[in-house]
Structure 1
């Protein structure tokens, strides 16, 4: 089976990368030359770009934002982000990056990420805050969105 890049994959397609657990959203890509550092493996900062790419697509697909400046969508800002590196990646490797929301509060939610290529290579988390479109204050997450997090991602409300 040929790998489809830059498009959401099915659970069967994701399993080919060694993906384990319940990940409702994932996309594949390949390591490019410009992502390498002087040691000839993927530079640590690139993982944050990969997590950002999946986060934006996830938010569009899940209906959180269309990133249009003229819409009434919330302004979604990253409060903090982290990565935990398990095994290095090299030029030309195909990989899968997965995303899901693991918990939510009234105006924020925590996403988690995993990077797979012949097993787990890295994990990450980001806390995302929902603001009014003009940035004037926090915007509560809708009940529909919270239910979508629960139904699609298995997320839990956080205390």
Structure 2
């Protein structure tokens, strides 16, 4: 796919053209770089984590959780737990898409699911629990209502009975 806009959110049609069966709330395309390869010419395991991180940062901005410009008023965003599955190797110059969505939430934390797609298949998957802390780190911060509303309207998360 040579006309894919890299590092720009993809439309549902662009996502389907990349081989995704259903569009995700956020999808970013890119291409494997030489610096991301290991001595066997496979993508190094650390590169996947960097790709997931880049998509998470963009996702947090898109859902209105942070702008990363107001540390005195925006939450501290912490990964409490993460689990990755490397499913299929990737090589130099492969184009890929990192997709991101919230799949569950509580009052001060939410579960994020991310996948890397290339060639119509999932190559890696990452699930993590994100905790929001007060800007000064003094305790947990509730997920803002507009963000929770977006989790429902855009990400398709079921309403939580334990959330405010």
TM-score, length-scaled by structure 2: 0.91
The reply on whether 1:145 has 2:142 as its aligned counterpart is: no
Residue number in structure 1 paired with 2:117: 116
What residue in structure 2 maps to residue 126 of structure 1? 128
Runs of 4 or more above 4 Å deviation: none
Check conservation: 2:37, 2:91, Cα contact below 8 A.
Answer: yes
Give 1:38's aligned residue: 39
Q: CA deviation at 1:30?
A: 0.3
Question: Does the CA contact (< 8 Å) of 2:133 and 2:141 recur in 1?
Answer: yes
Which structure 2 segments of 5+ residues have no match? Answer: none
Q: Counterpart in 2 of 1:59?
A: 60
Are the counterparts in 1 of residues 16 and 23 from structure 2 also a CA contact under 8 Å?
Answer: no
TM-score w.r.t. length of structure 1: 0.94
Q: Is 2:93 the counterpart of 1:104? A: no
3-state SS, counterpart of residue 129 of structure 2: strand
**Aligned residue for 1:91?**
92
How far apart are 1:142 and its partner, in Å? 2.1
1: CA distance between counterparts of 2:161 and 2:18? Answer: 31
Distance in 2 separating the partners of 1:63 and 1:19: 25
Q: Count residues with an aligned counterpart.
A: 159
The answer (yes or no) to whether the contact 2:31–2:94 under 8 Å persists in 1 is yes
Q: Which is further off, 139-148 or 44-53?
A: 139-148
Superposition CA RMSD, Å:
1.5
User: How far does the alpha carbon of each residue in 1:54-87 deviate from its partner, in whole angstroms, 9 at most, with x for none?
Assistant: 0000101111001124441111111122211111
Shift of 1:18: 1.3
